[in-house]
Amino acid sequence: MIKNNECLGCKLSNNNLKIYTVYENDYVNCILDYQPFNDGHTLILPKHHYKENYELDINTYKAIMDASVIISKAINKVYKPDGITICQNGGVFSELNHYHMHVVPRYINQEFANFYKEDGVFEEKSDEYFEEEMIKLKEAICDILRK
């Protein structure tokens, strides 16, 4: 697959828009979600244009899964959630029209149904907020990768 210059996901994954990258390799870019469900909510996006999981080549698929483990470990280290939800919405439910995986820290007594509400109210976050969260996760990921 190639990059699609009209695709928001391609623009995000290839640093053509303002993003906060916490982890990156040749195949994926892991960025903070601009409307996080919780602190540390990260998106894993392939750098090439794919819409659906069944379109992924094996190297990209492996890179996404490896990144989900690294991001999950970092989220556990930094935020100490009660659990992590990893999900991907395909077809008409993919708001980016580009394959992406959510890695979301979760806490007891928190209603996750709000994650899927189209009219969900998300608090606007500042650049400073994203910078701080990015630094925390990047530091945790560096520690994880050194081991």
Q: Tens digit of pLDDT for each residue in 85-120?
A: 999 988 888 888 899 999 999 999 887 766 655 555
* pTM exceeds 0.85: yes
CA dihedral of residues 50, 15, 85, 76 (deg, nearest 10): 140
Q: Alpha carbon of 143 to those of 8, 35, 70, 73, 137: distances in Å?
A: 31, 26, 11, 10, 10
Query: What whole-number distance in Å separates Cα of residue 30 and Cα of residue 78?
Result: 16
Helix (H, G, I), strand (E, B) or coil at 27: coil
CA dihedral of residues 28, 18, 104, 142 (deg, nearest 10): 60
**Can you tell me the mean pLDDT for 56-81?**
98
